[in-house]
């Protein structure tokens, strides 16, 4: 197979690696935004509950290693690099290293399954900014060609389904046949959702995962809202929904974070702490499925997306098109990853 690319770049949000990183990391997330100090301290406390460490970086690096192994087995001998938006390894540093190593054309894999501004275009803008940094450092450019959507990939669906089956198995036997699957994804402003396919893609993923598990009783909800209270965001919120589910007589729930690729702080705090507290308060039996993390079938899905891109451009790369940027959503509060 002809190789039109030199490497793969996995692009993710980033997260602190220790207590001293938490506030500098949040300052990066918040750059250019006016956020109340008490909100910053609230989010910092989320990290402190877990030792000031987000699992996101470690899990993303392990995902990248699994991707590389699969590509090499398929004959695509591409190195796989990781670059983060908000913490080490920063995108500009990773791209600089790639450039120094002679890499000129790479495939970009953004660690988000469903397309929105904050989950796709903003990352591309960050990559463009990092490429500008290359010029400032007098380094050769690294062109990035992104994989196509993969939110319906069989491996991604199977990985989520496997983790849900495991979670169902942790419920009392008498409740397993009566469980409701509650899928979660990061909420975004309604104004953003109107411009991007995020909500529809998320709901399609949830439907396929539920079908793979064989459970027709499911709902799609949202978590981690971070905007001003007066601004409309996608809902229902997971906590509000769990109270409603109990009132409706739902016997038990399994929370399924299909909108996330790793068990980072938003999943650990919003579901394992806040949502679990709600379930205890209303006496609703709950289990939480893992995110896809390093499930072998998810790593297969990553490799499939990259290999499809290699094949698509085997006869030549497209000319680059200047990105059509859109303004970021104002007044978004910090979120934890």
pLDDT digits (tens, 9 = 90+) for 59-106: 999 999 999 999 999 999 999 999 999 999 999 999 999 999 999 999
Q: Are residues 142 and 158 in the same domain?
A: no
Please give the tally of structural domains in the chain: 2
Q: Are residues 109 and 220 in the same domain?
A: no
Q: Are residues 275 and 184 in the same domain?
A: yes
Find tokens 């975004």 and name the residue.
Answer: 188
Q: 165 falls in which pLDDT band (50, 70, 90)?
A: very high
Distance between CA atoms of 166 and 52, rounded to whole angstroms? Answer: 28
Of all residues in the chain, the percent with pLDDT exceeding 70 is 92
pLDDT of residue 326: 37
Rounded average pLDDT over 121-150: 97
Which ranges in the chain belong to alpha helices (H)?
Answer: 22-30, 37-48, 56-73, 91-100, 122-136, 154-168, 190-193, 198-213, 238-248, 265-269, 276-282, 296-312
In a domain, 321, yes or no: no
Q: What is the extent of the structural domain holding 89?
A: 7-150+296-312
Tell me the β-bridge partners of 277: none
pTM > 0.95: no
CB 217 within 8 A of CB 179: yes
In a domain, 240, yes or no: yes
Q: Are residues 251 and 129 in the same domain?
A: no
Distance between CA atoms of 38 and 287, rounded to whole angstroms? Answer: 31
In a domain, 216, yes or no: yes
Of 135-149, 272-286, 313-327, the range with the lowest mean pLDDT is 313-327
Rounded average pLDDT over 15-21: 94
In a domain, 334, yes or no: no
In a domain, 327, yes or no: no
In a domain, 322, yes or no: no
pLDDT of residue 30: 83
Q: Are residues 96 and 75 in the same domain?
A: yes
Q: Are residues 278 and 304 in the same domain?
A: no
In a domain, 39, yes or no: yes
Q: Are residues 13 and 141 in the same domain?
A: yes
**332, pLDDT greater than 60:** no
Q: Are residues 241 and 303 in the same domain?
A: no
Q: Are residues 159 and 146 in the same domain?
A: no
Q: Are residues 62 and 47 in the same domain?
A: yes
In a domain, 329, yes or no: no
Q: Are residues 233 and 218 in the same domain?
A: yes
Q: Are residues 19 and 140 in the same domain?
A: yes
Tell me, what CATH number does 117's domain have? 3.40.50.1400
Find tokens 């002679």 and name the residue.
Answer: 102
């Amino acid at each position: 197979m002809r190789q039109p690319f030199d490497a793969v770049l996995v692009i993710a949000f980033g997260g602190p690696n220790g207590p001293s990183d938490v506030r500098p990391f949040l300052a990066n997330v918040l750059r250019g935004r006016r956020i109340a100090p008490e909100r910053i301290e609230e989010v910092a406390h989320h990290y402190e509950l877990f030792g000031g460490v987000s699992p996101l970086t470690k899990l993303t690096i392990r995902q990248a290693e699994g991707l590389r192994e699969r590509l090499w087995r398929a004959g695509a001998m591409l190195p796989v690099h990781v670059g983060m938006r908000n913490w080490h390894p920063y995108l500009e540093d990773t791209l600089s290293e790639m450039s120094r190593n002679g890499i000129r054309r790479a495939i970009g894999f953004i660690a988000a399954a469903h397309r929105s501004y904050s989950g796709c275009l903003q990352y591309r803008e960050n990559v463009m900014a990092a490429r500008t940094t290359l010029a400032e450092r007098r380094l050769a450019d690294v062109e990035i060609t992104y994989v196509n959507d993969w939110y319906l990939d069989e491996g991604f669906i199977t990985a989520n389904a496997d983790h849900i089956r495991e979670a169902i198995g942790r419920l009392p036997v008498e409740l397993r046949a009566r469980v409701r699957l509650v899928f979660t994804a990061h909420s975004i402003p309604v104004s953003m959702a109107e411009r991007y396919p995020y909500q529809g893609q998320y709901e399609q993923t949830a439907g396929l995962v539920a079908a793979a598990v064989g459970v027709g009783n499911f709902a799609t909800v949202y978590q981690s809202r971070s905007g001003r209270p007066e601004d409309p965001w996608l809902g229902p919120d997971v906590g509000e929904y769990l109270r409603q589910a109990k009132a409706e007589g739902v016997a038990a729930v399994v929370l399924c974070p299909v909108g996330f690729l790793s068990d980072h702080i938003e999943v650990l705090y919003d579901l394992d702490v806040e949502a679990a507290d709600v379930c205890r308060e209303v006496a609703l039996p709950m289990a939480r499925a893992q995110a896809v993390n390093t499930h072998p079938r998810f790593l297969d899905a990553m490799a499939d997306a990259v290999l499809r891109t290699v094949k698509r451009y085997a006869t030549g790369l497209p000319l680059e098109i200047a990105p059509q940027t859109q303004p970021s959503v104002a007044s978004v509060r910090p979120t934890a990853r």
